[in-house]
């Protein structure tokens, strides 16, 4: 199902949600509010927790903003918190934990927001309104003053929240030129909250997209990961594509919009990809139920080899030979550019590379050997490969879809059966390196590796051989090799 923005909220519901959430977090906000007020400082709950309270979402991570300077905040937290940390001190933030609550308190900032600025102090502000004005979106620019609980909403955030729309407090052009990462954040919040963006925001994103290039790959990546792991990634991705941001941060995605051939016979790969992503999300309970970035990103990238491998055949059909292998290479490059970890890169790349393998299974003709190789090649990505392969079926032909699903069920059952018999996941040859050296009377070296590989291939083809048969096979291989 395409992801449309959700219906409007009623203001009365919003007010009730906030009141309920403030009661739930009362142990924190009442005590902290009193402590800061008694010391002559202002304190307010701000940003994400206020927005999410209005949406009826609860968290135990609470962000505050204060007139107190970091040293003063730190002093006020000692004696109240179980632990205090100050990694964010240069940006005005002191963090702490008390029981189940994580708290971050940041001194008011003013003027432009530059989280990478190495100049602390200079832009500390002295008013809550000033602090709210430099925030990214109106729905994030609301606060609740403590201990009195007055809601501060100078930019109409409540109305925007009820309409589920992202708008900047000031002109979007100014906001995005202060910090171009906010354009990525717009797409991320669209995906997380199911919101749309205001026309002005969309226009500014489109006009200013290329400014994103001044932002570090790591920060872009972090927003992309949050977007992909959100409940409505289609909304965020569509926004990135339509504004031209995707062409800069993930160009493989818009490149999937291939023109259809004149007979409209092959599907739009881009639309197919978004559907595969959503179907992979629907299968996530197989992976533990939490949003799984690797699985989702593999779904997004599985066909990126198609544009480059597309060939029009004379009979009017289209082919994409080796788009799995080509796609895996493209995926690796993109993930390296975005500074993903090697583990994440290896996992996603492997899934892209293997996503087609099942289609050689036909109606179950694979030998046991082919099934063993499938499991072995998938390694620790096997469960995700099951998800990707099942998700990668977007045919409207229900009978065909049902047949594919049944065939895959069958393959999984075979894997199950073989696994029980053979501990497939940890397939090793019947003899280990030491035994090989002993039998052949040789020391460590290249031959041992070659012999090991030979025995592993036999093991894949025939299942367990047993030690005696393996020994015979090894000696036969060695004799043939020496002659």
182 binding partner (options ligand ATP, Mg ion, none; Cβ < 5 to 8 Å by kind): ligand ATP
How many angstroms separate the CA atoms of 50 and 56, rounded?
10
E-strand ranges in 157-198 read 165-166, 196-197
Under DSSP, the state recorded for 367 is -
Q: Please count the residues of the chain.
A: 483
What is the separation of C-alpha 371 from the centre of its chain, rounded to a whole number of angstroms?
A: 30
48 touching Mg ion, by CB under 5 A: yes
Token pair 């699903």: residue:
405
Using alpha carbons, select from 361, 364, 367, 369 the residue that is nearest to residue 463. Answer: 369
Question: By CB under 6 A, which span of 134-142, 411-419, 423-431, 462-470 interacts with ligand ATP?
Answer: 134-142
135 touching ligand ATP, by CB under 6 A: yes
Question: By CB under 6 A, which span of 21-29, 79-87, 176-184, 371-379 interacts with ligand ATP?
Answer: 176-184
Near ligand ATP by CB under 6 A: residue from 9, 30, 35, 48: 48
334 binding partner (options ligand ATP, Mg ion, none; Cβ < 5 to 8 Å by kind): none
291 touching Mg ion, by CB under 5 A: no
Question: By CB under 6 A, which span of 22-30, 177-185, 287-295, 472-480 interacts with ligand ATP?
Answer: 177-185
181 touching ligand ATP, by CB under 6 A: yes
Please state the closest distance from residue 166 (CB atom) to ligand ATP, in A.
11
Nearer to ligand ATP among residue 182 and residue 221 (C-beta): 182
Question: By CB under 6 A, which span of 11-19, 175-183, 300-308, 369-377 interacts with ligand ATP?
Answer: 175-183
Question: By CB under 6 A, which span of 3-11, 179-187, 249-257, 262-270 interacts with ligand ATP?
Answer: 179-187
Please state the closest distance from residue 47 (CB atom) to Mg ion, in A.
6
236 touching ligand ATP, by CB under 6 A: no
Near ligand ATP by CB under 6 A: residue from 3, 21, 63, 123: 63
DSSP count for the chain of H helices, then E strands: 23, 11
254 touching Mg ion, by CB under 5 A: no
Please state the closest distance from residue 113 (CB atom) to ligand ATP, in A.
4
Q: Total number of residues binding ligand ATP (CB under 6 A)?
A: 10
Q: Total number of residues binding Mg ion (CB under 5 A)?
A: 1
Question: By CB under 5 A, which span of 47-55, 160-168, 319-327, 335-343 interacts with Mg ion?
Answer: 47-55
Residues in touch with ligand ATP (CB under 6 A): 47-48, 63, 113, 135-136, 140, 179, 181-182
Residues in touch with Mg ion (CB under 5 A): 48
């Amino acid at each position: 199902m395409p992801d449309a923005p959700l219906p409007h909220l009623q203001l009365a519901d919003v007010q009730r949600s906030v009141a309920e959430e403030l009661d739930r977090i009362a142990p924190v906000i009442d005590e902290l509010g009193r402590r800061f007020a008694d010391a002559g400082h202002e304190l307010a709950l701000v940003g994400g927790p206020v927005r999410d309270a209005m949406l009826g979402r609860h968290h135990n991570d609470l962000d505050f903003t204060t007139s107190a300077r970091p040293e003063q905040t730190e002093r006020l937290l000692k004696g109240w918190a179980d632990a205090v940390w100050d990694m964010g001190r240069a940006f005005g933030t002191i963090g702490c934990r008390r029981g189940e609550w994580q708290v971050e308190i940041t001194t008011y900032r003013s003027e432009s927001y530059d989280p990478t600025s190495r100049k602390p102090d200079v832009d500390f502000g002295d008013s809550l309104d000033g602090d709210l004005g430099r925030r990214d979106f109106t729905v994030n620019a609301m606060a609740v003053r403590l201990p009195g609980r007055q809601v501060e909403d100078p930019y109409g955030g409540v109305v925007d929240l009820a309409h589920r729309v992202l708008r900047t407090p000031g002109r979007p052009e100014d906001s995005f030129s202060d910090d171009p990462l906010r354009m990525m954040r717009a797409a991320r919040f669209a995906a997380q909250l199911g919101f749309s963006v205001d026309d002005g925001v969309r226009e500014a994103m489109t006009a200013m997209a290329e400014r994103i290039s001044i932002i570090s790959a790591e920060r872009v990546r972090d927003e992309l990961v949050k977007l992909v792991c959100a409940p409505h990634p289609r909304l965020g991705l569509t926004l990135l594509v339509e504004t031209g941001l995707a062409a800069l941060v993930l160009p493989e995605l818009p490149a999937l919009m291939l023109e259809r051939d004149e007979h409209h016979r092959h599907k739009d790969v881009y639309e197919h990809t978004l559907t595969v992503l959503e179907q992979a999300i629907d299968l996530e309970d197989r992976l533990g139920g939490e949003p799984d970035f690797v699985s989702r990103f593999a779904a997004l990238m599985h066909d990126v080899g198609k544009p480059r491998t597309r060939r029009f055949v004379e009979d009017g059909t289209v082919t994409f030979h080796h788009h799995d292998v080509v796609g895996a290479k493209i995926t690796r490059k993109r993930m390296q550019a975005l500074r993903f970890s090697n583990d994440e890169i290896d996992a996603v790349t492997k899934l892209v590379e293997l996503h087609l393998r099942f289609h050689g299974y036909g109606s179950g003709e694979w030998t046991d050997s082919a099934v063993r190789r499938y499991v072995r090649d998938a390694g620790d990505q096997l469960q995700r490969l099951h998800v990707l392969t099942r998700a990668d079926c977007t045919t409207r032909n229900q009978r065909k879809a049902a047949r594919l699903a049944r065939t895959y069920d069958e393959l999984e059952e075979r894997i199950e059966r073989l696994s029980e018999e053979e501990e497939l996941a940890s397939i090793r040859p019947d003899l280990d390196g030491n035994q090989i050296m002993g039998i052949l009377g040789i020391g460590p070296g290249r031959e041992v590796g070659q012999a090991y590989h030979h025995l592993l291939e036999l093991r894949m083809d025939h299942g367990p051989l047993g030690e005696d048969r393996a020994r015979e096979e090894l000696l036969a291989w060695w004799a043939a090799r020496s002659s």
